[in-house]
Amino acid sequence: MLEATGLTREFASPTGRVTALRDVSFSAEPGEFLAVRGPSGCGKTTLMMILGGLQRPTSGQLRIDGQDPYELAPEARSRFRAEHIGFVFQEFYLVPYLSVLENILAPSLAKSHPDPPGRARALTERFHLQDRLTHVPSALSTGERQRVALARALFHEPQLLLADEPTGNLDPENAQIVLTYLAEFANSGGTVLMVTHHADAAAYAKHVMEMENGTLVSTVGQPN
């Protein structure tokens, strides 16, 4: 499902070239839940951006479901992201003036769906948001906001879910709820890659990849 080979990302700086990611290779099958851990500045976010088709690597190759998104023209790459990848972020990135239902429906603007309202309402029930349909994000708890963001990410039933510190702003109870949903997505055949600083969050993953100075230094399997 996901195959990264020799991913490297360099940036120009006033003092010369900076290598944010260096020769990172790994793969993930459908149904796998992977966590990426490491200190701030180790390259986790750069890796996430590349995997999401948002930042072209300087060298190396990425294949998602057999396709290298960076071989596609920008418009086709955007469609590919909409069809294959869901994103969940620490800061939620909900549209502040849209309701819960409208935020979940937002992906339908990028890719058509046979029944957008029906799909969105089904997700609100799955994530226990059916009593919050008309609320704007400021009227929600932090846990509810992350559940809206997760519902939005799953609207098009992606094959790959990229989660960047999804529990970073949550209390332990809501963090457990969100991690359980991510695990359920993997158990249903989806692929999850989660960046996290938290050992408790990483414990939900099947494999934990440790990064240091832009390099993947170890991958550890763990029982689930």
Structure confidence by residue, pLDDT tens digits, 30-50: 999 999 998 888 889 899 999
Q: What is the pTM of this model?
A: 0.90
- Which pLDDT does position 189 carry in this prediction? 94
Tell me 54's DSSP state: S
Return the pLDDT at 163: 94
**pLDDT at residue 49, rounded to an integer:** 92
Q: According to the model, what pLDDT value does residue 222 have? A: 64
Query: Which DSSP helix (H) or strand (E) runs through 17?
Result: strand 16-28
CB 92 within 8 A of CB 144: no
Which residue ranges in the chain fall short of pLDDT 50? Answer: none
